[in-house]
Chains A and B, each alone.
Chain A
Amino acid sequence: MSDRAGTGESPLVLEHEDRPELRHHFADVVQQRNAASLGMWWFLGTEIMFFGGMFCGYLVYRRAYFPEFAAGSRSLSLVAGTVNTAVLICSSLTVALAVRASQLGKRKLLVSLLLATMFFGVCFLGIKGYEWHDEYEHHHAPTFYFNAQDLVHNNPNLHLDPQRTKIFFSLYFALTGVHALHMIVGIGIFSVITFMAWRGKFTPEYHTPIEIAGLYWHFVDIVWIYLFPLLYLIDRRPGA
């Protein structure tokens, strides 16, 4: 760990010379990097509140309509959900390794890891799209064609209310949809920084875009880490 901060060895006056990436209003690259990272953390704080509102609505309805939510949850594919969680964890690994590659100045490794991240991101969206299509085919998408009679018939002793089931699927599509939108934005951001990395824009001294894009990607991963048990694993006990 090259922890040498606070030893007072950086001559501030000389910092700005031959450093085009260092903006004039920052004392040195460390301050600039910390400011950029902190800004991203503030943004992620607003993102927590953004998703928090939907999670709160989900929890209120889940409490009120538990049998419908459990039945809706059981109709989702456990395998697809688990595989998608694993895919996102793999993408978080490649992001962490990409940040490391940029810290070490390994350009080729950095570009391949960023490409791998986008590959995993596209895989996730592909599996998610397949699931959405499947649910749409079963009329579980909350459209005019919504029909949950199959769930009502499959769980005769639960006396499910189809309208309440529709609330579950509305929240499911809203939560996974907004999450997928974040994935699409993330893939867009990563395409830009992959191009920048390929052009050799990053050095061990300057790789802030990789780092803060990485923070965003990890955050979207964390949202899914919570979405997976909340949507797919509500009640899968045997006999439930």
Chain B
Amino acid sequence: MAEHTEHIEHSEHIGSSGFYWLIWAVLIVATVLTAWISTVDLGVFNTVVALLIATCKALIVVLFFMHVKYTSEKMTKAVLLSAVFWLLLLLILSLSDYSTRYAG
């Protein structure tokens, strides 16, 4: 997947088009898989599997399409991780509040 281009300088990563098509194929397969598996009875795991597949897809997009895997800028990763951390804080604390507040 490495491509050598003489006139381009500095640290920029250039993925090969074949690799991007592979990522696309993985994402399409995951989409069909998540739609199909939602019609299979897995009990409470239906939601878990759906969110797991979505998170894998999001991770693939972030790492490869958004070049986070290749960036030399550590601040990018710090910003992304802190945003996700605050999001989880928001969701987990709110849901633990609502889950324990009412009997039902």
A interface residues with partner B (beta carbon < 8 Å): 1-6, 10, 28-30, 33-34, 37-38, 41-42, 44-45, 48-49, 52-53, 55-56, 59-60, 63-64, 78, 81-82, 85-86, 89-90, 92-93, 95-97, 100, 103-105, 204-205, 214-215, 218-219, 221-222, 225-226, 228-229, 233-239
Partner of B7, one of A63, A204, A218: A204
Partner of A5, one of B28, B65, B72, B83: B72
A6 to B32, CA, bound (A): 43
Residues of A within 8 A of B90 (CB): 49, 52-53, 56
Q: B17 to A60, Cβ gap below 8 A? A: no
Q: A96 to B41, Cβ gap below 8 A? A: no
Interface string of B1-35 (1 = CB under 8 A from A): 01111011111111101001101100110011011
Which 10 pairs between the two chains have the least Cβ-Cβ distance?
Answer: A5-B11, A45-B83, A229-B50, A233-B38, A93-B24, A237-B41, A82-B35, A30-B10, A52-B87, A48-B83
- By DSSP majority rule, is chain B's interface helix, strand, loop, or mixed? helix
Q: Can you list 19 A-B pairs, Cβ within 8 angstroms, ordered by A?
A: A1-B14, A2-B9, A2-B12, A37-B71, A44-B80, A49-B83, A52-B86, A52-B91, A60-B95, A89-B31, A90-B24, A92-B61, A97-B17, A104-B14, A218-B61, A218-B66, A221-B61, A233-B34, A234-B47
Partner of B73, one of A38, A104, A105: A38
Q: A45-B83, A60-B98 are in contact. List 4 more A-B contacts (CB 8 A).
A: A2-B9, A3-B11, A49-B86, A235-B46
Which residues 48-74 in B have Cβ within 8 Å of A in the complex?
50-51, 53-54, 57-58, 61-62, 64-66, 70-73
A205 to B8, CA, bound (A): 7
Partner of A96, one of B15, B73, B83: B15
Residues of A within 8 A of B80 (CB): 41, 44-45
Q: B94 to A60, Cβ gap below 8 A? A: yes
B75 at the interface (CB under 8 A from A): yes
Partner of A42, one of B39, B61, B79, B98: B79
B62 → chain A closest CB, angstroms: 7
Residues of B within 8 A of A82 (CB): 31-32, 35
Q: B8 to A237, Cβ gap below 8 A? A: no
A1 to B3, CA, bound (A): 6
Residues of A within 8 A of B27 (CB): 89, 92
Residues of B within 8 A of A44 (CB): 80, 83
A4 to B57, CA, bound (A): 30
B84 → chain A closest CB, angstroms: 7
Q: B61 to A3, Cβ gap below 8 A? A: no
